[in-house]
Amino acid sequence: MLDEQATRSFYQEDSITYDSRWHSPGGNITNRAQIRLVQSVCSGWAHRRVLEVGCGTGRFSEVLARIGADLTIADLAPAMLSVTVERLKREGLESRLRAAECASIYQLPFDDDSFDCAFMLNVVGHLRDTQLALNEISRVLRPNGTLLVNFPNLYSIYFPAGARVNRQAKAVGQDVYSRWFRPCDMTSALAAAGLSIVDWYGHVHVPRSLHTNRWVAAMIGSLDCASRHTWLRHLAPVRFCLCRKSETTQ
């Protein structure tokens, strides 16, 4: 569906080396910043039924499990799912895992209103039909349920990179479908799915091309901290949005 086979194949192969990107100075700064943000925003999710869509290698799954969430994970790539399950077992967190499903975001194998919270990070930018995906996430969330989602912001300090991605329809340096969004378009798509933004946070990641430059990475890390809540968040290349599903069903 929607050429998901190409995306699945890419992440099947990428699962082997995915975490290596966080070992460089720039990658480490980005990883730690994202982990801290998730820890802060999701700190109250203990004992809630949480669905993580696009778990990847489980770096956020581990955070959610440590918080105490009743966690269900789903990913399009079986290899990514396996890496996450093994990670949770290795860290002694398997008791927090309720289910692991190899599934498409466009057709989740869960009943309506199944989860208190949903979590989807670094996924939206690789979806060809964002609206369909958000509608499906909303379907499985209970009324007043919470969604944490992020997206690449076209109107940011990284505009040239975002414009290039949109022209080529693939990530810089990677052969996988990618897209950057105008914030107004993402807000409209969320609203159409019955989801409203209740808070949002800026994030300035270190571009992969600069991961090995320790000094530039450190400067970007400082800019990232300043962009979290100040006016600079409007120019941040990534927006993390905390959303709530309306009480009335779609």
160 CB neighbour count, 10 Å cutoff: 8
CA distance 148 to 167: 28
Q: How confident is the model at residue 250 (pLDDT cuts 50, 70, 90)?
A: very low
pTM: predicted TM-score of the whole model, two decimal places: 0.94
Q: Which residue has the higher pLDDT, 248 or 51?
A: 51
Query: Angle 127-52-250 (CA atoms, 0-180°, nearest 5)?
Result: 70
**Is the pLDDT assigned to residue 1 strictly greater than 80?**
no
CA distance 48 to 51: 10
**Is the pLDDT assigned to residue 188 strictly greater than 70?**
yes
4-245 fold: Rossmann fold (3.40.50)
- Locate the domains of the chain by residue range: 4-245
**Is the pLDDT assigned to residue 171 strictly greater than 80?**
yes
For 38-50, write each residue's pLDDT tens digit. Answer: 999 999 999 999 9
From residue 75, give the alpha-carbon distance in Å to each of 45, 100, 114, 142, 186.
Answer: 21, 8, 17, 21, 22
CA distance 139 to 148: 15
